[in-house]
Amino acid sequence: MLERIKKALVESFVGVIVVGMLFADGIMSFVSGISTPLANWLTEWIQQAKGSVLVQTPLPRFPVLPFIREWIAAALLLLAAFLLLRWLYIEPSAAEPSDPSQVEEPEESA
């Protein structure tokens, strides 16, 4: 049954579209994980700097939790894309033995 699904996904190009969308969404989550918390932190810092000259307030803390959350989402999306890409399009090579002890060394001729 999985082979029929795999064949349908490969032949109709739906598989490559899904892999591309997963990769794109993973990259966008990665970039968003950096830019959004940084922009919010900078905005808060600028607002505090405009406040009062007489009262010095400490810098706002960098929002680490949204940063980590987005990067975990990006990692999961990229992992899913890689696994789908590998399952659909990368065939395991049958020529290579799985056990390294089974590899025959070539005989040298004199």
Segment 68-85, tens digit of pLDDT: 899 999 999 999 999 999
Domain presence at residue 99: no
Closest C-alpha to 88, from 20, 29, 41: 20
d(CA 6, CA 12): 10
d(CA 5, CA 18): 14
Domain presence at residue 45: yes
Domain presence at residue 101: no
Number of domains into which the chain is organized: 1
Domain presence at residue 74: yes
Range of the domain at 83: 19-49+61-90
Segment 36-61, tens digit of pLDDT: 888 988 888 888 777 666 666 777 77
Domain presence at residue 105: no
For the cut 70, the answer to whether the pLDDT of residue 101 exceeds it is: no
Domain presence at residue 7: no
Residue pointed to by tokens 């659909």:
88
Domain presence at residue 39: yes
Predicted confidence at residue 72, as pLDDT, reads 94
Domain presence at residue 2: no
